[in-house]
Amino acid sequence: AAGVIQSPRHLIKEKRETATLKCYPIPRHDTVYWYQQGPGQDPQFLISFYEKMQSDKGSIPDRFSAQQFSDYHSELNMSSLELGDSALYFCASSLGYLSGNTIYFGEGSWLTVV
Amino acid sequence: AQKVTQAQTEISVVEKEDVTLDCVYETRDTTYYLFWYKQPPSGELVFLIRRNSFDEQNEISGRYSWNFQKSTSSFNFTITASQVVDSAVYFCALSEAGSGGSNYKLTFGKGTLLTVNP
C-alpha cells in the first residue's frame, strides 16, 4: 500500500540558509501534519492542514511556514536556519480531520544544519 | 493539558524473553485515543495500534498485546518471545477529542528504547 512520501530524505544546509521539505500524503488522505524530532527526543507537533487550510498550530517557529496545495501535498519552508533546527522532520497524513483517526507517518527527512 | 509518561527510558532483554513497555497518560477529556508507534534505527515511525477511550478490551496481534486500563490511566504494551528485530524506540501517544474537535494532534511520550540481544 502507498505510504506517506517525503523528500528529500536527507538535507544538509548552512546556517541562515533556507530549506524546503515536501510531503505527499497517502492517496485520498486530506489531512497533513508536520512533526519535528530532535536527537533523542519525542516528535513535537508543528502544524497541520485539513482540506488545504491550516487546522492547528503547535510549536512552529516564526521562521517556518507551511502550506497544503490543491493536490493535498504539503511543503514546509524553513528560513534563516539555525543549528538547533537540525532534526528529523516527519510528515504524516490521515483521512479526515477527526480525533482518533490513525495518523500515518512518512519515513522522515533528516535536516542537518552546519 | 494532555500528557504521556513512559517511565522506562531503556530496556534490555535477551531474545525470547517477554517484555512490557509501560505508558501512563493524563487527560481531562472523556473521549480520547491512545496509540503506539515503533521507531526502528532507520528512523521511520510505524503505526502499531490505536485504542479509543470507550474500548477497554485488551488486544492481541501476534506476539504483541496491549492492556488498556482506564482506572490506572495506563496503556501498556507487551511483546512476547522478543526478537532482535523488535529492537527499536517505542512511543506511546495520546490524541484528545477536544472542544470543537480541534485537538487532533498527537502528544507523544518520551519513548522507550528496547534492545533485544541475541
Local confidence band at B104 (pLDDT 50, 70, 90 cut-offs): low
Residue B102 touches chain A, beta carbons under 8 Å: yes
Query: For residue range B50-93, what is the model confidence (pLDDT) as tens digits?
Result: 998 888 888 888 999 999 999 999 999 999 999 999 999 999 99
CA B49 – CA B59 distance, rounded (Å)? 9
Residue B69 touches chain A, beta carbons under 8 Å: no
Our CA-based measurement puts residue B82 at a distance from the nearest CA of chain A, in whole angstroms, of 23
* Residue at grid coordinates 504524516: A92
- DSSP single-letter state for residue A14: -
Closest-CA residue to B104 (of B32, B41, B50): B32
What average pLDDT does the segment A52-69 reach?
93
pLDDT of residue A32: 94
- Mean predicted lDDT score pLDDT of chain B: 91
Sheet of strand A19-24: strand arrangement? A5-7, A19-24, A74-78, A64-68
Our CA-based measurement puts residue A56 at a distance from the nearest CA of chain B, in whole angstroms, of 7
pLDDT of residue A100: 67
A and B: number of Cβ contacts within 8 A:
71
**Amino acid identity at B68:** F
Q: Nearest 5°: phi and psi at A106?
A: -80, -175
Percent of chain A past pLDDT 70, that is, above it, reads 96
- Asked whether the predicted pLDDT for residue B98 surpasses 80, the reply is no
DSSP string, A45-84: EEEEEETTEEEEE-S--TTEEEEE-TTS-EEEEE-S--GG
Closest-CA residue to A103 (of B58, B105, B92): B105
Q: Please report residues of A whose CB lies closer than 8 A to that of B46.
A: 105
The β-bridge relationship of strands B112-117 and B10-14 is parallel
- Asked whether the predicted pLDDT for residue B48 surpasses 90, the reply is yes
pLDDT of residue B1: 75
Interface with chain A: mutation pick from B89, B105, B106, highest number of A CBs within 10 Å: B105
CA B44 to chain centre: 16
- Asked whether the predicted pLDDT for residue B29 surpasses 90, the reply is no
pLDDT of residue A98: 65
Query: For residue range A2-56, what is the model confidence (pLDDT) as tens digits?
Result: 799 999 999 999 999 999 999 999 999 999 999 999 999 999 999 999 999 998 8
Sign of CA dihedral B26, B32, B34, B35: negative
Closest-CA residue to A103 (of B25, B74, B5, B95): B95
Closest-CA residue to A21 (of B84, A32, B43, A30): A32
pLDDT of residue B56: 83
